[in-house]
Structure 1
Amino acid sequence: MAELLRYGNHLSAIQAALSTPLAVRIAVIRVPNPRPTKFVLIEPSGGSDESIVHGWRSVIVDSWGASEAEAFDLALDVEAHLKALRNERLKSVLIYKARPSGGIVWMPDPDAKVPRFRQNYEILTRSEAI
C-alpha cells in the first residue's frame, strides 16, 4: 500500500494568519450569528494537486463592512496579508504561498443589503504522511 498523505486544515491556517493582524472576526464557512458589522468569511472552493505532496487549495474570501469603503479597505488588507504568506507553518499546515485568482470583486449581500467584496485565492500547501 502507498504511503497515506493528508492535507491539513488550510481554512484554519488562513483564519490564524488573518485574525491577529486584521483585528476583526475571521469566520469559516458560515456567516456568524449575530452578524458583526465588519468581518471576513473564508469558504473552501476546491483545488488541485501540484505533485504527490503539494496541493493548491482554493478559497473564497469575503470582506464585509458597514460601508462600501470600510468593506473595500478590509478586502485590501486581506489581500496584503495573504499575498505576504511565504513558507509559514500555521496551525500545523505548511503554506508555501497564496495567490489571487482574479481581483477584488464587488458582491453586496443580496438579502441583508450589506457591503461585501469577494476575492478568490489559491493556497499552495504541503501534505503530511499519516
Structure 2
Amino acid sequence: MPDAVAVVTGYLRDALAAAGDPVPVVSRIPNPRPPRLVRVQRIGGLRQTVVSDRPRLDFHAWAETEADAADLAELVRALVAAVPGVRNGVAVYSAREVGGPMWLPDSATGTPRYAFAAEIHMRGRVIAARH
C-alpha cells in the first residue's frame, strides 16, 4: 500500500501553497518548531480491500494564536475533504472525518494547537516481487 502520510502531506503542502498559505506540512515535528505548522500522522486504520487501504490520519495545526490555529485547522480540514482524486500517482477515493476539530494546546510549550482525524480511502500499488 502507498505511504498515506507521504501522499497526504505532499498534497497538503501543494494545496496550502496554492491557497496562498505555504505552511510547512510534516510527519515529524522539526526542532526548532516553526510558529505555524501542520503535522500528519497515521494512527491506525485497516486494509479496506485486497487492493485498497483506509488509513486513519491525525492532523495537528499549530499557530501563534488560538484563532490562527483554529483557522489553519479549518483550512486543512477543508483541503482534506477535497483530497479525492489522483495524488502523486495514487488514487484517493474518499476522505471521511472521524474526529472533528478539538482544542489541544501543545503540552510541552502551551502553543495554540487544534487537531482532528480523518480516514482516507486509497488504492494500493503493485509491488514487484523480490527473488
TM-score by length of 1: 0.88
Q: Look up the SS of the partner of 2:10 in the other structure.
A: helix
2:106, 2:83 → 1: CA distance? 28
1:92-103 residue pairs with structure 2 within 5 A?
A: 92-103=89-100
1:12, 1:125 → 2: CA distance? 13
1:125 correspondence with 2:122: yes
Question: What amino acid is aligned across from residue 71 of structure 2 in structure 1?
Answer: D
| Higher relative contact order, structure no. (Cα contacts within 8 Å, ≥ 6 residues apart) | 1
Measured on the aligned residues, the alpha-carbon RMSD in Å equals 1.1
2:9, 2:101 → 1: CA distance? 19
Q: Which residue, out of 1, 8, 12, partners 1:18?
A: 12
Q: Is the 8 A contact 1:10 1:93 kept in 2?
A: no
1:44, 1:77 → 2: CA distance? 20
TM-score by length of 2: 0.88
Q: Which residue, out of 3, 6, 25, partners 1:9?
A: 3
Identity %: 31
1:36 correspondence with 2:34: yes
Q: Report the count of equivalent residues.
A: 122
Can you list the C-alpha shifts for 1:18-61, whole angstroms capped at 9, x where unaligned?
11232100011x21111100010011111112221122111110
Q: How far apart are residue 89 of structure 1 and its match?
A: 2.2
The residue aligned with 2:44 is: 46
Can you list the C-alpha shifts for 1:71-127, whole angstroms capped at 9, x where unaligned?
0000000010010122x2223322111111021011101111100001111010111
- Extract unaligned runs of 5+ from structure 1: 1-6
4+ runs deviating over 6 angstroms:
none
